[in-house]
Structure 1
Amino acid sequence: MQDVLAVVTVVVVGMMVGVEFAVAVFVNPIFDRLPNNGGLDARSDGARVLGRVMPFWYIGSLVLAAAWAVSAWGDAGATLIAVGAALLVLSVVMSILLLVPINSRVATWSHSGAPADWKLQMHRWDRFHYVRVAVIVLAFALFAVALV
């Protein structure tokens, strides 16, 4: 059962990392290059869609990691799993304190209702997001090493 939990955790966290990495490295930079501030509508829509899904994904990943850490306690690799789970806790805290407040505002924006500094707010969100991506990539790497 522990092996199944380990594989499911690595797969779920890995897919989350892939989505967040793609948003950081590909999707948002593409949105930023759209003409006529088209990125504003795209980011606003993304904030609404991903803002509904990602909390469940982050918390689900954290629950899986915690369950794996508890079930593996005392085994080889348990420390890696525990540190990976702690990094997921950090990513959730970062999300709640730094990213969600910006994301909640972005979800309400449109061409007619965006603040004058919307691009600066987006760049601030991007910087926080890059750090969060680094944290979850490290967690994923620790889980992958613990799995093998």
Structure 2
Amino acid sequence: MLNALQVVTIVVVGVMVGVEFAVPFFINPTLNALPDDSNQLGRAFGGRRGGAVMPFWYITSLVLVAICAIVGWHHPGSGLVITAGALLILSVIMSILLLVPINNRVETWTPENRPADWKQQIDRWDRFHYVRVAVIIAAFALLVAGLA
């Protein structure tokens, strides 16, 4: 049972990390290569889609890691799993304080109502997202090392 939980946790967290990694390194460069209206509409759509799905994914990942830490408390590597959980908590805090407020604005924009500084706001979100991706990659690496 513990092995199944560990595999599910690694897969759920790993896929989340992969999706978040794809945003700055594949999706955003593609959107940035498009004309401004298409770029902005793509970002708004992505913001709505991500805003609907990612909170559940982050919380599910965090809950699974917490369960692994509790169930595997006396196993080698539990400290790494706990540290991975702490980093996931940090990523959620970063999301709520830094990324979500910008995302909530971006997802409502259209070419007709976007602010003059829309590109600067998107660049700010991108910079915060790079940091968040680094945090969740570290969390994933620690999780895998702790469960292996």
**For the superposition of Structure 1 and Structure 2, which TM-score range results when normalised by the shorter chain?**
over 0.9
Shift of 1:81: 0.3
Shift of 1:134: 0.3
Shift of 1:144: 1.2
Shift of 1:114: 0.3
Distance verdict in 2 for CA 1:130–1:36, change over 3 Å: closer
1:33-89: per-residue Cα shift (whole Å, max 9, x none)? 102431100000000011100000000000000010011112101000000000000
Shift of 1:111: 0.3
Query: 1:36 & 1:119 partners in 2: Cα distance?
Result: 9
Structure-2-length-normalised TM-score? 0.98
Aligned partner of 1:121 in structure 2 is 121
Query: 1:24 & 1:147 partners in 2: Cα distance?
Result: 28
Which amino acid in structure 2 is aligned with residue 136 of structure 1?
I
Query: 1:90 & 1:2 partners in 2: Cα distance?
Result: 26
Query: 2:84 & 2:4 partners in 1: Cα distance?
Result: 18
1:105-129: per-residue Cα shift (whole Å, max 9, x none)? 0010010010000000000000000
Query: 1:107 & 1:79 partners in 2: Cα distance?
Result: 38
Which deviates further from its counterpart, 2-11 or 108-117? 2-11
Query: 1:36 & 1:94 partners in 2: Cα distance?
Result: 28
Which deviates further from its counterpart, 31-40 or 127-136? 31-40
Query: 1:110 & 1:37 partners in 2: Cα distance?
Result: 8
Aligned partner of 1:32 in structure 2 is 32
Which amino acid in structure 2 is aligned with residue 27 of structure 1?
I
Secondary structure class of the residue paired with 1:43:
helix
Aligned partner of 2:89 in structure 1 is 89
Shift of 1:135: 0.4
Structure 1: gaps of 5 or more residues: none
Aligned partner of 2:14 in structure 1 is 14
Which amino acid in structure 1 is aligned with residue 122 of structure 2?
M
Structure-1-length-normalised TM-score? 0.98
Aligned partner of 2:3 in structure 1 is 3
Which amino acid in structure 1 is aligned with residue 143 of structure 2?
F
Instruction: Among all aligned residue pairs of Structure 1 and Structure 2, give the percentage whose two residues are the same amino acid.
Output: 58
Secondary structure class of the residue paired with 2:74:
coil
1:65 and 2:68 are equivalent in the alignment:
no
Shift of 1:24: 1.2
